[in-house]
Structure 1
Amino acid sequence: MLTLFRWLLRLTVALIAVLVLAVVLAWYFAVRSLPDYNASYGMSGLKAPVEIVRSTENVPHIFGQSDEDMFFALGVAHAQDRLFQMTMLRRAAQGRLSEVRGAGAFAGDVLVRRLELYRNAQASLDAQDSDTRTALEAYSAGVNQWITEVNESALGRGAPEFFLFPEQIAYWQPADSLAILKLLAAASSNAVPAEILRARLSLAAPQYGPDVLSGEAAPAGLPVYASLFPGAKFGAPAPQDGTEAPRDPSGFLRPALGLGGNGFAAAPDRTAAGGALLANAPHGPLTAPSLYYLARLQLSSGGVIGATIPGIPAILSGRNPHLAWGMTPSAIDDADIFIEEIQPGNSDRYRGRDGWADFASRREVIRILDGEDQVITLRRTENGPLMPALERGLRDIIPQGHVAALGWTGLSREDGTMSALIGLMRAPDTDSAAAALSRVVAPAMTVTLADGDGIRQVSAGLLPGRSAQHPTGGAMPVPGWLATTRWNGEMPASAADPSGRAPAGILIATEEPGAAAMRRGRLTRLLQDREVHSRDSFIAAQTDIVSPAARALLPLVGANLWFTGEPAPAGTIDAQRQDALALLAEWDGQMNEHLPEPLIYAAWMRELQDRLIRDELGPLADDIATLHPGFIDAVFRDRGGAARWCDIAQSAPAEDCTTIARQALDRALLDLTDRFGPQVASWRWGDVHQARHQHPGLGGLPALGWVVNLTQSLSGGSFTISTSGLLGRGRNPYEAATGAGYRGVYDLADPDSSVFITSTGQSGHPLSRHFDDFAALWRRGEYVGMSLDPDLARAAAIGTTRLIPESR
């Protein structure tokens, strides 16, 4: 027995030693991948020495003697801090995530392959001007030189995440940057999900019309969807698994995600200091690290500083000495779903414009980690590629014997958008900027501009040329074989939404209608109520957390519920209802994380909308994850007889809207009591409204995810200017799934007082102190300085990286 004990003791000690050694080795190699910002590197491809001066916030200020070297050094800086993010974005754009993520990423890869993002990016290289091609090649060379340095100096593979993935890091190509820009364009467009939802609503409740959730009492000229396909058979809406909301497998971007943002500006005569002001806040998924990375380049045309996306060598929102700009996804409808009829008895042919035609097809192989390779067949029609898995619910609207094809302006193989972005950085004024932006194809965007003379907005991108006889105007899927549904080429977005100057000295840009329209209304009120603005008033507007939806709905929905009678006995649902209504009656709509009112309001409206639509829409109600205030407003005002939504068809009594409002509030209070106890005043919005910045590589792993994901409570909501969009489904539908990954405010009266912030930090390395050092500032609505003064950058530098030309 003693011998057995000794051997067990020795084995235990040996296992502990092995475990400690493994931890030490893992830590050593992880730390090795942290870049040394005070180092010199010999790199081939440079024309002259370059300095990368890292400011206190780890923002690289790049100084050199040529623009080509500037882009080279930006590639080095991006790769030093965000190499893993860059490779994940590239894989997402190539449709190759399955190679490192396994079968869970397969559906996303199939979708991207069908969109041909990478093939179109490769073809679009020839569409760039010579300066842009030079910039792309120099940027790629810089990324590759850092990869070479990592390999030759054993710098921990460049990022600790790479130890968990079997693939080697492929060298960067100019087409990789164009492909990521294509992925950004695909993620920006929300036209396809909107089309599909309208068609599903029309099939589920044809008596109400496709636009019922917009608050309109009758369809605005849209036909009933089924009437577009006489005699066709549609299946019943398929129930969805609502246990957890799907997240993007790349952690950053996916097609049809629907990005958003705010942009606004004030002309010099509307500012206290006499210089134009501009603010910009693009919205997207909250990740760790943020999608955005701050950088400054000293180009021959002058310094330029602002927000980049690693992998794209351009400042997407920022300023140079004379011009500031901010980009907001445009509300234009840049995509259409075409329903194509398959020839009976021959699945290789479809109904074309001149009769039955063969699909254009090819095959591709998708490699899957720990799984068998999958061969997929990609098919195209005259209208675009077939997209069977394009969007949730698409199969519900495809008649039997038909398939869906996508027409999208971003499918262009002559896309000069990158040239437009490079040209914008060099533009000295708004006129030059507008000229540069004329080359944008996708993403369609509204660009707000400011210079010394004033402010201007430009609609950039291409818009489908639809016939005046188009049956839906692009609002719903249409038969692909009809001449009236075919595109007549493409036209600039500015033709449909002409750009121009600000008539009242104020310009505002938001993305899609709905929540953005309410944010726009709140922004307009804040900006027009002041005759003169300052940088601080713009910051206050950008971080505003008042919900115009709450202010509009609560007096209407609760009109007949406000407490006027005897107090209810303590501990009853009636007493809770009275307490909740008393709080809401005094609330000003501030979605403050420390208050109970935002939580009560959000839970009430969520339950109310579900009760209104559940019996009419059936399983489709599971996919209505966002609040539609216009619909609730129309119902409670009985606009066009919309109050009939309050009557539950399955029940014998005729319910009125007051009854439904009370029942919804009681149900919401019961749910919240189960989670947080009976004391209404002790509940907090921030207990459920938390931002989970998920790491794209390690965030899904139980142990490592706890370390690398960032979670923090957050003020705001889907309808506040400081947007934090709700997840809408799953175990916590109130989770903040989206937000402003970047905020910037540019003051041209004193340009170096401009400020910016991202949602996490500059570094993508979980062990870096710059991985999350912006997160608390971002949460509190604070900023860091944004100066082009080289002396300021050097005075507070945490390190200077020197790149020295070397021939190899």
Structure 2
Amino acid sequence: MTRRSITFRLLRALLVLLALTVTALLTASFWQQRERVSTAELVERAKAHDVRIVRDSWGVPHIFGAKDSDVAFGIGYAHAEDDYATIQDVTLAIRGRLAMSKGSEAAPGDYVVSLLNIWPSVEQRYLRDLPEDVRAVMEAYADGVNLYGAEHPDQVAPSALPFTGQDVAAGFLFKMPFFYGLDKTLKQVFEGKAELVKTPTGSNGVAVAPVRSSDGATRLLVNSHQPYTGAVAWYEAVLESDEGWHVAGGFFPGSPFMLHGHNEHLGWANTVNAPDLVDVYQLTINPDNPDQYRLDGQWRDLEQSTAWLWVKLWGPLLLPVPQTVYRSEHGPVLRTEQGDFAIRYAGMDEIRGGLQVYRLNKARNLQEWQAAMALQAVPALNYIYADERGNIGYVYNGMFPDRQAGSDWRGTLPGDRSELIWTGYLPPERTPQLWNPPSGLVFNANATPFHASEPQDDLQPADFAPSMGMQTNMTNRAQRLQETYGADRSISRDEFRTYKYDLTYSERSALVATVQQMLALDAQDDAVLQAAQAQLQQWDQRSDRPNRIGALAVLAAMPVVRASEQQLPAVDLRESLLKAAANLQQHFGRLDPEWGEVNRIMRGKEDLAIDGSYDTLRSVWGEEQPDGRLKAVAGDTYILFVEWDKQGHLSSDSIHQFGSATLDPASPHYADQLPLFVEKKTKPVWFTEAQLAGHIEREYRPGEVTLGK
């Protein structure tokens, strides 16, 4: 290489760096100026809302206001007090701007926002599809978050403010399809391979009618399994407006609506289901024009747009990265080494998810609740329902595509036939649902909808179209629900709770079957394998803290089971057992440490042994630490028990794995619920203001100083 060429290359590199620096500084200056200009307006908007926030003795916010919008403003402010950073990250992710603060690792997610056409859909449909009362609640919630941001500018990231009602609507549009696995499909198509999902998609929901209760009560268990922190971690609150919005339950960062819990009259639990709601089409590309695809014998142009990804480099420097986004008649298009694939999925362009959840929140009886479900704006999720009149029910909810019969919708479809591009959904009455079965029991734990009650009451596969693609699996939790709640015809209040915290692996479970296969391995001339088998032979299939075989059984069998569940390459039984044995021997000096020595939950200064494991009803998901212990990061989080007694009187109690102060280690509520959580105990939900009296830690109005209230 000549000296002249080296000089030229260096000069070109310097010019590129200079251009990037100027762009970055101008961009940073723009966003900073935007925040300065908007702060006064944000404070002014907050003055329109009149709300009280009452923190109970556990720090849980109880929000009181005259209007629903006042209450929404209050929950926005209260949630921001406890978890502003997560709300902010969620908002940036929904906007496709998370890479501005998190760097290149967030850029693929930002691209997906453009790929799925989130913001054009919101801008087109926000005023058209959402009624004024729903928009008022969304915008008031945004006002509450904005007021907190205006008061704490040091916590605000560039481009974060103002948070808007459209952000709330976009959150439902963007996140809902990921609950039924759209993200996994996108990853598999784009990368051509599947990867182990490390976070849970599990949950438990149970409802028992008076006929099955020993005291004539109606009971509901709300128990979804979530990550302990982050975008889909539960936050507990109680809301009460003079317009009839009175709920208690779990909220996600970025949403004003109770997602599952109860009001005065009824309640529901959600669990994740897995119907086939995504279709993949392989496109035939024009060999003479790579931007055209064949449809019905004709070449069509791919729609193209440019997504600008703003990626943080260092300090205020942002790198603008243009990426082309393609769409066909089918939907988003992924260009891969294996070819061009289009994706069509349930909930495309559907922004009314918040509307449906809001109507569920305010339903006063079964008929109103079912009318809200008939909106068909939530693309998936199971619903377990109970109410004050003793009604119970199970809904395998889904926006099921109205597909042409006769095609293999599970596989990759040809992209050149328009009759395979479905344009609507099956009507609500085709949704699998089971109401008031004679057995008085419904449940789900991420298993098939065809085992949701006693066998004589179960739904039948023959009654539903094969194209709906409903799952047929049984989790260990579902099997244990059958063996506990399902085996007891007269369930007491204490039994209802005891069964929820069950620690046993069913004889029919995949994990126990895997352990049995490990016991059958030929261990001749392998002393370690023989010793491990001798231990496993004594296991009682439980995951209680004192258990001395549970660690070996779970650590050895779980990788095998999870690979099978997710259709990944098989894990060798012998290697997995030997690896688990070596790990325990290395870190604990023995093959049989107590499960509680291995299985830990940690928060601040707390480091406690905890019962439960992967896929037990007492669900605890641990990540292996350098010292060999498992640190609980997901599973049981917010748990809510609801009951209406024989006279229809409501009571409920709950527990959170940590406490209400999600991100503040200095708060007394950072980990104050953890000891109760570990011991499988709960605290009261003071649902009414009269019940709350005597349990108040603090009462205030948002912006008392800022707004002069």
TM-score calculated relative to the size of structure 1:
0.70
Counterpart for residue 301 of structure 1: 244
* Structure 1 residue 121 displacement after superposition: 3.5
The code of the aligned residue for 1:319 comes to H
The code of the aligned residue for 2:581 comes to L
Which residue of 654, 674, 696 maps to 1:756?
A: 654
1:417–1:439 CA contact under 8 A, matched in 2: no
Q: 1:281 to 1:664 in 2, by over 3 A?
A: closer
Q: Indicate yes or no: 2:380 matched with 1:379.
A: no
Whole-angstrom CA distance in 2 between matches of 1:344 and 1:534: 69
Q: 1:97 to 1:452 in 2, by over 3 A?
A: same
Whole-angstrom CA distance in 1 between matches of 2:397 and 2:565: 28
Counterpart for residue 164 of structure 2: 173
State the secondary structure of the residue aligned to 1:379: strand
Counterpart for residue 116 of structure 1: 117
Counterpart for residue 480 of structure 2: 522
Counterpart for residue 588 of structure 1: 540
1:515–1:719 CA contact under 8 A, matched in 2: no
Whole-angstrom CA distance in 1 between matches of 2:73 and 2:558: 50
State the secondary structure of the residue aligned to 2:312: coil
Whole-angstrom CA distance in 2 between matches of 1:479 and 1:729: 46
Q: Indicate yes or no: 2:305 matched with 1:369.
A: no
Which residue of 444, 447, 450 maps to 1:509?
A: 444
Whole-angstrom CA distance in 2 between matches of 1:379 and 1:510: 38
Deviates more, 1:284-293 or 1:94-103: 284-293
* Structure 1 residue 429 displacement after superposition: 1.4
2:173–2:351 CA contact under 8 A, matched in 1: no
Counterpart for residue 38 of structure 1: none
Which residue of 375, 382, 399 maps to 1:462?
A: 399
Deviates more, 1:332-341 or 1:42-51: 42-51
Q: 1:116 to 1:275 in 2, by over 3 A?
A: same
Output aligned runs, 1:376-455, within 5 Å.
376-388=323-335, 399=338, 402-412=339-349, 414-453=350-389, 454-455=391-392
Output aligned runs, 1:634-649, within 5 Å.
none
Which residue of 407, 426, 430 maps to 1:495?
A: 430
Q: Indicate yes or no: 2:298 matched with 1:338.
A: no
Q: Indicate yes or no: 2:263 matched with 1:262.
A: no
1:186–1:410 CA contact under 8 A, matched in 2: yes
Q: 1:719 to 1:514 in 2, by over 3 A?
A: farther
Counterpart for residue 134 of structure 1: 136
* Structure 1 residue 581 displacement after superposition: 3.4
* Structure 1 residue 779 displacement after superposition: 3.5
Whole-angstrom CA distance in 1 between matches of 2:106 and 2:245: 43
* Structure 1 residue 759 displacement after superposition: 2.7
Whole-angstrom CA distance in 1 between matches of 2:83 and 2:183: 31
Return 5+ residue gaps in structure 2 as ranges. 1-41, 448-470
* Structure 1 residue 722 displacement after superposition: 2.4
Whole-angstrom CA distance in 2 between matches of 1:676 and 1:627: 29
Counterpart for residue 552 of structure 2: 600
Q: Indicate yes or no: 2:613 matched with 1:674.
A: no
* Structure 1 residue 447 displacement after superposition: 1.5
1:752–1:785 CA contact under 8 A, matched in 2: no
Counterpart for residue 411 of structure 2: 476
State the secondary structure of the residue aligned to 1:311: coil
* Structure 1 residue 560 displacement after superposition: 4.5
TM-score calculated relative to the size of structure 2:
0.79
Show CA shifts across 1:676-735 (max 9, x none): 33x323x24455545678xxxxxxxxxxxxx79x87654333321222346699997966
* Structure 1 residue 602 displacement after superposition: 2.7
* Structure 1 residue 322 displacement after superposition: 1.1
Whole-angstrom CA distance in 1 between matches of 2:505 and 2:696: 40
Show CA shifts across 1:569-611 (max 9, x none): xxx953x54544344333221123443322211343357x4xx
Show CA shifts across 1:430-460 (max 9, x none): 2211111222323412211111222122343
Whole-angstrom CA distance in 1 between matches of 2:566 and 2:234: 31
State the Cα RMSD in Å. Answer: 3.8
Whole-angstrom CA distance in 1 between matches of 2:566 and 2:322: 45
Deviates more, 1:344-353 or 1:375-384: 344-353
* Structure 1 residue 168 displacement after superposition: 5.6
Show CA shifts across 1:190-225 (max 9, x none): 26637987x99xxxxxxxxxxxxxxxxxxxxxxxxx
Q: Indicate yes or no: 2:270 matched with 1:327.
A: yes
Q: Indicate yes or no: 2:103 matched with 1:102.
A: yes
* Structure 1 residue 182 displacement after superposition: 2.7
Whole-angstrom CA distance in 1 between matches of 2:574 and 2:45: 71
1:625–1:729 CA contact under 8 A, matched in 2: no
Whole-angstrom CA distance in 2 between matches of 1:736 and 1:799: 31
Whole-angstrom CA distance in 1 between matches of 2:513 and 2:625: 22
Q: Indicate yes or no: 2:685 matched with 1:786.
A: yes
State the secondary structure of the residue aligned to 1:273: coil
* Structure 1 residue 514 displacement after superposition: 7.8
Whole-angstrom CA distance in 2 between matches of 1:176 and 1:354: 41
Whole-angstrom CA distance in 1 between matches of 2:92 and 2:615: 33
1:192–1:336 CA contact under 8 A, matched in 2: no
State the secondary structure of the residue aligned to 1:462: coil
Whole-angstrom CA distance in 2 between matches of 1:743 and 1:312: 19
Return 5+ residue gaps in structure 1 as ranges. 1-40, 152-156, 201-234, 248-256, 389-394, 610-623, 633-644, 647-659, 694-706
Whole-angstrom CA distance in 1 between matches of 2:566 and 2:304: 44
The code of the aligned residue for 1:105 comes to A
Q: 1:553 to 1:408 in 2, by over 3 A?
A: same
Q: 1:43 to 1:51 in 2, by over 3 A?
A: farther
Q: 1:178 to 1:691 in 2, by over 3 A?
A: farther
Q: 1:691 to 1:128 in 2, by over 3 A?
A: farther
Whole-angstrom CA distance in 1 between matches of 2:493 and 2:64: 28
2:205–2:270 CA contact under 8 A, matched in 1: yes
Q: 1:774 to 1:352 in 2, by over 3 A?
A: farther
State the secondary structure of the residue aligned to 1:718: coil
Show CA shifts across 1:313-341 (max 9, x none): 11111111111111222322221222222
Q: 1:109 to 1:45 in 2, by over 3 A?
A: closer
Q: Indicate yes or no: 2:617 matched with 1:721.
A: yes
Whole-angstrom CA distance in 2 between matches of 1:692 and 1:110: 35
Equivalent pairs, count: 631
Whole-angstrom CA distance in 1 between matches of 2:306 and 2:176: 25
Which residue of 269, 274, 289 maps to 2:216?
A: 274
Whole-angstrom CA distance in 2 between matches of 1:332 and 1:523: 21
Show CA shifts across 1:246-305 (max 9, x none): 98xxxxxxxxx8733221100112113322101121223232697111111113226311
Whole-angstrom CA distance in 2 between matches of 1:258 and 1:342: 38
Whole-angstrom CA distance in 2 between matches of 1:351 and 1:734: 52
Output aligned runs, 1:62-73, within 5 Å.
62-73=63-74
The code of the aligned residue for 2:364 comes to P
